[in-house]
Structure 1
Amino acid sequence: MMKIAIAGIGGVGGYFGGLLARHYQNSDEVEIYFIARGENETAIRQQGLKIETPGSTFTATPKLVISDPAQVGEVDLLICCTKSYDLEQSITQLKPCISKDTIILPLLNGIDSYERIKAVYPENEVWEGCVYIVSRLTEPGLVTVTGDVNSLFFGSTDGTEARLESALQIFTDAGIKATLSQNIQQTIWEKYLFISTIATLTSYFNTSIGGILAKTENMDLLHSLLSELKQVANAKGIMFPENSTNAIKERMAKLPYETTSSMHTDYQKGKNAEVDSLTGYVVKLGKQLNVPTPTYEKLYTALKNK
């Protein structure tokens, strides 16, 4: 029996965990557990997790939804979908789920999740991953997906090939658009190039992605951020395709006008935001690598003071 736990049942964990829970609800081979808290845990326990997408609505019921990891027990695969600022705290609290054989797969917005998890669990197999999706936990027990982008990429430079292939099969069988990336570092950096700049700008200007595209001054800042982040990435040995800036603008233009970043949504709600992972980390890396990031520094300072 393969035991999979999803920690953090928000927009990302709820959608991908929901697909897994729906498909494997009566399976003798795979068990899906949700680790959730508060009203969300209560709502899912009472009526399942409802997922609304532009094409369909379904309700998923995991084997168990609980806030206490000890009641889940040790699992084969732990998928972490918590916020990046909570990572150390949450991964430590999840210790009852983690044996020496547990694989940990973070699906977070930053690019330093692997190192941060390895610092806490150096003996474990830690994979890397990222997702492209616009989804929110709109109320307890309800995940709403907008747009038609919902893909998951994962991989590992030193992971067990058979276990990676097995996970890919489990994901795709559940209807997840999953890709086992042969160069996951490149994949994650390409996602980061998009999400870091978008999250920073939508939060700084307090506007949607459509609002960014609508003003020349906003686009000038976007170009500056992209240029600085690419230089930092280059210093790390990551190269982007020639057309990457245009590709990002095209991806932005395809999204509904009112689409925004989860970081901007957190700012609007007065909640803790992922500014250190999505904006500050570029400044930090720039200093380490002697690459100037003046635009990122200016916006990071402004966002920290919001």
Structure 2
Amino acid sequence: MNSDTTKIGILGIGGIGGFVGAPLAKKYKDSETKIIFICRGETKKAIQNEGLLFESKGETTTIIPDLVSDNPTEIGILDVLILTSKSYSLKDVLSTYKDCINEKTIIITLQNVVNAKEIIRETLPEAGQIMEGCIYVASNVKQAGHVQHVGGPGKIFVGGKENIQLIKLLTAGGLDITYVENINEILWKKYLFVAPVAGITSAYKVTFGQLLEDENLMHILENMMIEIQSLAKKNNINLTNEDIETSKDLLTKFPFESKSSLQLDFENDNQTEKQFLVDYVIENAKKYGIETPFYNGVNEKIKTLYNVS
């Protein structure tokens, strides 16, 4: 990172981008650390005109970053790029903003996948440092330029090459972020929660609280987690039965009415991450000869319910 000015871009100001970008832009306003919100369309227009409305713990704050733009030339070369866009758009956004990235740019991923680095390397083989990461939070878009933090601790874990200076900068900026050596294990533990919960809440149209109260659905959820446990093992990651219990218990940490982002995208007729949260498990398990009857059942319900492939 440049010792004088540090340019941090947050790509995608949706639920996660807003949650990450808001404290950073608030803390580093009028400083040598420049916070850039990279977004387009109605979101860009709303934030340029009114600022980002960020709602958390009963308080709504108006956040004004240093720049709101979707123009690579205006954005320039970034020291840090935090990717908060949906998994399905990773390749497109990286291609669009490749001129903002050089070999010194540190890319931080916060997608709900276990293969983000792979996707980035396919698109930008010359990319420098990639810090794969994940975040535990429920944060949604109420409308363009208005993000609501619903629940969850907001804890961020990142891996890759250790960068103490960057972690200190982001922590001082209000993020609860921790560097871990073995990020793959953390990514799989997050995936163990996110993917089955996303699938089952979408298939059965239930909130987190309704899921917890339904014994039959919790049985299906646990078996979906066991299927992911088998897939993780083939990827040299040992997910224990205790990890499964921890994932199930995590549901209790969210408000009763919480919904998965996959479910919300289906409800709002948006493009979804089904390919990464449902299809990925089934297709990769098949390669290893792992049976996934519970994932298959949920997938069939989703396909019928939402008329998708």
* TM over 0.5, shorter chain: yes
Are 1:131 and 2:135 matched, yes or no?
yes
State how far apart, in whole Å, the 2-side matches of 1:195 and 1:226 are: 10
Partner of 1:289: 288
1:103–1:127 Cα contact (<8 Å) kept: yes
- SS state of the match for residue 249, structure 2? helix
Partner of 1:117: 120
Gaps of 5+ in 2: none
- SS state of the match for residue 31, structure 2? coil
1:77–1:105 Cα contact (<8 Å) kept: yes
- SS state of the match for residue 218, structure 2? helix
Aligned with residue 145 of structure 2, among 141, 156, 173 = 141
State how far apart, in whole Å, the 2-side matches of 1:103 and 1:288 are: 33
Structure 2 CA distance for partners of 1:148 and 1:231, relative to 1, 3 Å: closer
Structure 2 CA distance for partners of 1:116 and 1:148, relative to 1, 3 Å: closer
1:118–1:126 Cα contact (<8 Å) kept: no
Partner of 1:22: 26
- SS state of the match for residue 135, structure 2? strand
Matches within 5 A, 1:75-114: 75-114=78-117
State how far apart, in whole Å, the 2-side matches of 1:190 and 1:144 are: 25
Alpha-carbon RMSD? 1.4
Greater mean deviation of Cα atoms: 87-96 or 199-208: 87-96
User: 1:245: Cα distance to partner?
Assistant: 2.1
Say how many residue pairs are matched. 300
1:50–1:60 Cα contact (<8 Å) kept: yes
Aligned with residue 10 of structure 1, among 14, 18, 25 = 14
Partner of 1:218: 217
1:225–1:295 Cα contact (<8 Å) kept: yes
2:152–2:253 Cα contact (<8 Å) kept: no
Greater mean deviation of Cα atoms: 136-145 or 248-257: 248-257
Q: CA deviation digits over 1:225-263, x for unaligned, max 9?
A: 011110111111111234122212221123211111000
Q: CA deviation digits over 1:117-137, x for unaligned, max 9?
A: 011112222110000111111
Partner of 1:233: 232
User: 1:148: Cα distance to partner?
Assistant: 4.7
User: 1:8: Cα distance to partner?
Assistant: 0.2
User: 1:94: Cα distance to partner?
Assistant: 1.1
Q: CA deviation digits over 1:146-205, x for unaligned, max 9?
A: 22511111111xx2x3xx212211111011111111211111111100000110000000
Greater mean deviation of Cα atoms: 240-249 or 108-117: 240-249
Gaps of 5+ in 1: none
State how far apart, in whole Å, the 2-side matches of 1:175 and 1:9 are: 17
Q: Aligned partner of 1:49: which letter?
A: L
Greater mean deviation of Cα atoms: 214-223 or 266-275: 214-223
Greater mean deviation of Cα atoms: 259-268 or 42-51: 42-51
Q: Aligned partner of 2:135: which letter?
A: V
Aligned with residue 36 of structure 2, among 24, 33, 36 = 33
- TM normalised by structure 1 equals 0.94
1:78–1:105 Cα contact (<8 Å) kept: yes
State how far apart, in whole Å, the 2-side matches of 1:92 and 1:71 are: 16
- SS state of the match for residue 243, structure 1? helix
Partner of 2:190: 191
Q: Aligned partner of 2:271: which letter?
A: N
Q: CA deviation digits over 1:257-301, x for unaligned, max 9?
A: 111100000011111111010111111211222222122123224
- SS state of the match for residue 150, structure 2? strand
Identity, % of aligned pairs?
Answer: 33
Structure 2 CA distance for partners of 1:39 and 1:50, relative to 1, 3 Å: same
Greater mean deviation of Cα atoms: 19-28 or 245-254: 245-254
Structure 2 CA distance for partners of 1:74 and 1:304, relative to 1, 3 Å: farther
